[in-house]
Structure 1
Amino acid sequence: MTGEPQKILILGVGNILYTDEGVGVRAVERLLETYDFSDNVTLMDGGNLGMRLMQPLMDADYCIVLDAVLGGDVPGTIYRFTGDDLRKSLAFKDSMHQSDLVDTLIYCELVGKRPDTVVIGMEPQDFKNMSIDLSATVAERVPAMLEIALKELAAAGGVATPKA
């Protein structure tokens, strides 16, 4: 079956004011700086928009969320969550945008249009101190996070072309 390629949303979430909590947003910024994307791909800084993300999510068939994740492993560890694991990954954190995103996905499901979602998360080193810069540990792992996100994107039918 051919037809339209699925619409893919790459969503970076987090609060860039709290060091590594902003890793998802910083990762999306890096993707925008270094790649051009096929027409079926949208990149978005979801910040901590919560319910305002509902429309972009409902417009997408597939969503790749980039975020800081408290999985209990060493800082810089990268996680991949899908399906039922999403709740584990998104609800565990004492941060407003996380439970918002779970709620928003649940509301999308209630109205019958929730994208398949994968979360690529990274264990933060510091998410308590205010700083707009990522910690060195997390910053050096961002390329690895992007590599995983780009593999997800390619598998879902999106194309990322490195900028000249």
Structure 2
Amino acid sequence: MTEAPKKILILGVGNILYTDEGVGVRAVERLLETYEFSDNVTLMDGGNLGMRLMQPLMDADYCIVLDAVLGGDAPGTIYRLTGEDLRKSLAFKDSMHQSDLVDTLIYCELIGKRPDTVVIGMEPFDFKNMAVELSPTIDERLPAMCDIALKELADAGGVATPKA
């Protein structure tokens, strides 16, 4: 009997009204525009839903979170965070998100179903000014962030096929 493939959730989070804070959501939009995904992969705009993300998280075995990350490096720097480093991600701090994603994952764990989670994050250029477009610096780096997310997806057993 072959094991069922891991259920993978690619979750873009952030507030698209604050320029680069929306980079995770914009990355998911880009991936959906340009790729078809295997049946075991779900892509979701998590916006700043906080606790309302519990069910999609508990339904997943592996979660790839795409978000803005304040790591202190140059804008456009891409990070891969796991474990305690997750708190560098804006979604894992009490930023403009309703509750941080670490709390949400802790609640999932208490219920007994927490997915392994990795954050692919990008250092924002501007996340304080209201604008629905990404800053040019971050927009230019978006394809690189998507490529890293796709490699993470492939390593976890998901398949992304470029659309014709």
Is the TM-score greater than 0.5? yes
| Structure 2 unpaired stretches of 5+ | none
Residue aligned with 1:2, SS: coil
Distance 1:92 1:146 in 2: 20
Deviation at 1:89, TM superposition (A): 3.4
Q: How does 1:1-164 map to 2 (within 5 A)?
A: 2-90=2-90, 93=93, 95-97=95-97, 99-164=99-164
Question: C-alpha distance in 1, partners of 2:92/2:39?
Answer: 34
Choose 89-98 or 103-112, whichever is displaced more.
89-98
Does structure 2 retain, via aligned residues, the 8 Å contact 1:6–1:62? Answer: yes
Q: TM-score, normalised by structure 1?
A: 0.95
User: Which amino acid is the alignment partner of residue 67 of structure 2?
Assistant: D
What displacement does 1:81 show?
A: 0.4
CA distance in 1, matches of 2:79, 2:32: 22
- Compared CA separation, residues 100 and 93, structure 1 to 2 (3 A): closer
- The CA distance in 2 between the partners of 1:90 and 1:122, in whole Å, is 10
Structure 1 contact 91–98 (Cα < 8 Å) conserved: no
Alpha-carbon distance between aligned partners in 1 of 2:149 and 2:96, rounded to the nearest angstrom: 24
**Contact 2:12 2:25 (C-alpha < 8 Å) held by counterparts:** yes
> Is the contact between residue 21 and residue 127 of structure 2 (CA under 8 Å) also seen in structure 1?
yes
Q: CA deviation at 1:88?
A: 3.9
What is the distance in 2 between the residues matched to 1:95 and 1:132?
18
How far has the Cα of 1:85 moved from its partner? 1.6
> Relative to structure 1, is the Cα distance of residues 31 and 152 closer, same or farther in structure 2, using a 3 angstrom cutoff?
same
Report sequence identity in percent.
88
Q: What is the CA-CA distance between 1:86 and the residue it aligns to?
A: 1.3
| Structure 1 counterpart of 2:59, one-letter code | D
Instruction: Say whether the 8 Å CA contact 1:70–1:92 is kept in structure 2.
Output: no
Runs (4+) off by over 6 Å: none
**Change beyond 3 A, Cα 1:28–1:152:** same
Query: What 5-or-longer segments of structure 1 have no aligned partner?
Result: none
Cα distance change, pair 41–91 in 1 and its aligned pair in 2 (3 A): closer
Amino acid at match of 2:104: T
Listed one character per residue, the Cα deviations across residues 125-145 of structure 1 (whole Å, up to 9, x for unaligned) are 000110000000000000000
Are 1:21 and 1:67, in contact at CA under 8 Å, matched by a contact in 2?
Answer: yes
